[in-house]
Amino acid sequence: MNRTRPVALLVTHGVLGEELVRTVAAILGPQSDVATVSNSGLSADALTTAIEGRLAESSPDAPVVLFTDLAAGSCGIASRRVGGEGRDLRRITGVNLPMLLEFFHYRDTLSLDELLPRMEAKGKAGIVIL
Amino acid sequence: MPLLLARIDDRLIHGQVAHGWGSALHPTLLAIVSDSLRVDPDRANLYLFAVPEGARGRVVSVAEALDPAFRDEVEAERTILLFAAPDDALRLLEGGFPLRELNLGGLHHAPGRREVLPYVYLDEIDRERLRAVQRRGVRVYAQDLPSNASHAIDTWVGEAT
């Protein structure tokens, strides 16, 4: 498929995002085009600036999926304040491992319009009372 | 369809197998060859729960795996065979099951085992069994994920002959 690979940007509390990326690498192998931002020690404004800084590091042609952990937390709120600046920017919250695995499996083969609903479904389906 | 992968992995069906190898190989059958799991359906179901979409899982004993009907099933599907330890794989070979390659994907730390890779720890019994597997003409290689490096095991287990 002739299009730019979507970038994953995980914006989370503490080291959650880094560890999720490390765990994805342990399961699928190392991944490129992925970045993380932690809220540790950052004010709301500083966190928004940090996300914008990370976005600026990736090619302006590249679509970005912004993953956050809590919708009603600093990360979720800051991610909604960030503008796409013309780029294709998608946001999804409640990040978990099943959602991420789905993203990394299919980001080169499915459009984000197809992939985002699948990621939401996989993330939810991964929560099961055993 | 020839066998896609035969793998020794003490975690059996887990993330690396279901997702890592699964997304590369698209298996339709994940078969665990294990005498101990075959008689312990509760524990077997824990592993079968992790079978990915599009595939089915089953647990067979070594004797069942040697039945020609099982070999037909393996060849009719896109199959990954899993063993929890070198012993099961060796006994399958000794029974005449044809394997050309055997992937060493996970043998984790246990008392008496020494690390050779972060996901491979071996003791002398493991080494002897892996040598015996190689003596049967099977290429044994260590590799946790399809996108990571593959390692020949000769330097860890000694010469096969």
Question: Of all residues in chain A, what percent carry a pLDDT higher than 70?
Answer: 98
Q: How far apart are CA B26 and CA B92, in angstroms?
A: 24
Residues of B in Cβ contact (< 8 Å) with A30: 147
Is the whole-model pTM more than 0.80? Answer: yes
pLDDT < 50 regions, chain B: none
How many distinct helices (H) and strands (E) make up chain B? 9, 9
On whether the CB atoms of residues A82 and A51 are closer than 8 A, the answer is yes
Question: Which site among B13, B14, B23 would you substitute to test the A interface, given the most A Cβ atoms closer than 10 Å to its Cβ?
Answer: B23
The whole-number pLDDT of residue A1 equals 47
Strand partners, B64: none
Identify residue B41 by its one-letter amino acid code.
P
pLDDT tens per residue across span A30-85: 999 999 999 999 888 899 999 999 999 999 899 999 999 998 889 988 998 898 88
Q: Which amino acid is at A115?
A: L
Binary contact (A26, B15; C-beta < 8 A): yes
Q: Compute the count of residue pairs across chains A and B with CB atoms less than 8 Å apart.
A: 22
Q: Do A27 and B147 touch (CB under 8 A)?
A: no
The confidence score (pLDDT) of residue B160 equals 54
Burial class for B87, CB neighbours closer than 10 Å (0-12, 13-18, 19+): middle
Q: Are B45 and B97 in contact (CB under 8 A)?
A: no
Determine the 3-state secondary structure of A29 from DSSP. Answer: coil
Interface of B with A (CB under 8 A): 15-16, 19-20, 23, 145-148
Q: What is the mean pLDDT of chain A?
A: 93
Looking up tokens 């992939």 gives: A115
Backbone angles phi, psi at A68, to 5 degrees: -130, 160
Mean pLDDT of the A18-29 span: 97
Best residue in B14, B19, B147 for a mutation probing chain A (most A CBs within 10 Å): B19
pLDDT digits (tens, 9 = 90+) for B135-152: 999 999 999 999 999 999
Q: How far from chain centre, in Å, is Cα A40? A: 17
Q: What mean pLDDT comes out for the span A11-27?
A: 97
| Residue reference for tokens 């020690």 | A41
Type of residue numbered B15? G
Name which of B50, B22, B55, B80 is nearest A105 in CA terms: B22
End-to-end Cα, chain A, rounded Å: 39
Interface residues of A toward B, Cβ cutoff 8 Å, are: 26-30, 101, 105
Pairwise CA distance, residues A47 & B86, whole Å: 51
